[in-house]
Each structure stands twice: as C-alpha cells, then as structure tokens.
Amino acid sequence: MDDNWLLQALMQLIPLILSLTVHEWAHAYSAMRLGDDTAQRLGRLTLNPIPHIDPIGTLLLPLIGVPFGWAKPVPVNPTRFTRKMPMRTGMMITAAAGPFSNVVLALMCILIMGVLARFSFDNRAVEMLLLSGFQLNVLLAVFNMLPIPPLDGSRVADGLMPSRLRPGWERFTVYGPFVLLGLVFVNFQLGGGMFSWPLNIAWRLGAGLLQAIAS
C-alpha cells in the first residue's frame, strides 16, 4: 500500500460516506413528513454520518476496493403514516426519496464543477472529489432503483404493481436477495462495467451542463 493507493481510497470513501448519509437522511425525512417519526426517534434524521455508517458496507469493503457498499437501513413504520395516504404509496415515496437525493447530489457536483471552472479555480483534489461524487451518486441512484428486493426500486415497483401481476411479484420477492447477490457478483467480475452505460449517458448530459456554466 502506497500513498497513491490511500489517496484514491479516500477519494472514493469520502464521497461514499457523504452520499450514503444524504441517501438515508432522505428516507428518514420523507417518512417524518408522512407522519412516521420512527427514524427521528432513533437518531437517524441527521446529516451526521456516524449514525448511518455500517462498519463493513460503508468502510471496510470500499477501502479494500470492493465496488459495492451500503449504510445502515433507516427503519420506516408505514402504519404511522398519515391516513390521507395509502401505506403502499407512502412506502413508495420514502423509498424513492433516497435515489432522488443521489440525483440531486450528482447535479450539485456538476454545478459546483462548472462554477469553479468559470472562475478558473484549479485544484486537482477538489476536482477529483467532485467527479467521484458525481459518478458515485449516479451509480447509487441507478442501482438502488433496480426493482429487486431489498433495494429501494422494489418498494417503488411494489407501489405501482397492478393486482393481476402481484402474485408473481410476491413470489419473485422471495428470491430477490439471491438475484441481487448474483447481479453484484456478475458486475464485480465485469469490473463494474454492467452500469457503465447509465454513467456514460449521465456524464454526457452533465458535461453539457458543465460547459454551459463554465463558458
């Protein structure tokens, strides 16, 4: 392990911790707005990273180079949601809030990069952090919206699932975690290339916005 390895690890770890923190906070905040204060009472409605950190998923795996990570899941109790909204809809909203926060963070990274370029601010470390933050948040948003349990996308899919398809969907949810593990394994074998196409699309869009701000 040399200094270059440590720098690269930190450039990945810092945006990951911040992104996962905002992701989990968004779940907690949306649940609170819908009437469920479970996460708030457990100290999870915070932007302090410490309550959200999972020692293995947030720290160990990213540090050893595994392209996969997670934070402690925010507890949500749909029975405490406001009666004005069906529980299934409330769960769909709280689930989507996490990936949506990652989209917002990715956009913020591009906006900051554009502003810094416009004012000729040249700092390689800052640029690397922002670029890493952009890529990471795009990947987090796309990955978490996959309709595979226990990812956020599965709860969104559950809220939108028509009644005629629900029996098959409920059978699939039993095997969802195994499908997810298989997907992660295949993606690891491909060097993370399975998700390169959404990242490339997002970068093309982001680069256009960055250029427009910087010019």
Contacts of 189 (CB under 8 A, 6+ apart): none
Computed over every residue of the chain, the mean pLDDT equals: 90
What are the pLDDT digits (tens) for 17-62?
Answer: 999 999 999 999 999 999 999 999 999 999 999 999 999 988 888 7
Nearest to 97 by CA among 40, 50, 13, 33: 33
pLDDT value of position 124: 86
Q: Dihedral sign for Cα 115, 10, 69, 184, please.
A: positive
Overall average pLDDT of the 201-206 stretch: 92
DSSP 38-96: HHHHTT-SSS-SGGG--IIIIIIHHHTT-S----PPPP--GGGS-TTS-HHHHHHHHHH
Buried b (16+ CB within 10 A) or exposed e, 15-43: bbbbbbbbbbbbbbbbbbebbbebbeeee
Overall average pLDDT of the 154-163 stretch: 94
Q: To the nearest whole percent, how much of the chain has pLDDT over 90?
A: 69
pLDDT value of position 195: 81
* CA–CA gap between residue 5 and residue 179 (Å, rounded): 32
pLDDT value of position 3: 56
89 class by beta-carbon count within 10 Å (0-12 exposed, 13-18 middle, 19+ buried): middle
* CA–CA gap between residue 80 and residue 95 (Å, rounded): 16
CB 153 within 8 A of CB 29: no
Asked whether the predicted pLDDT for residue 160 surpasses 60, the reply is yes
Q: What domain count does the chain have?
A: 1
Determine phi and psi for 148, rounding to 5 degrees. Answer: -125, 120
Using left for φ > 0, alpha for ψ between -120 and 50, and beta otherwise, residue 182 falls in: alpha
The verdict on whether omega for the bond into residue 149 sits within 30 degrees of 0, i.e. cis, is no
Asked whether the predicted pLDDT for residue 102 surpasses 70, the reply is yes
Active site residue 24: yes
Residue 126 domain boundaries: 3-214
What are the pLDDT digits (tens) for 3-22?
Answer: 576 677 777 888 999 999 99
pLDDT value of position 70: 87
Pick the catalytic residue from 24, 36, 152, 158: 24
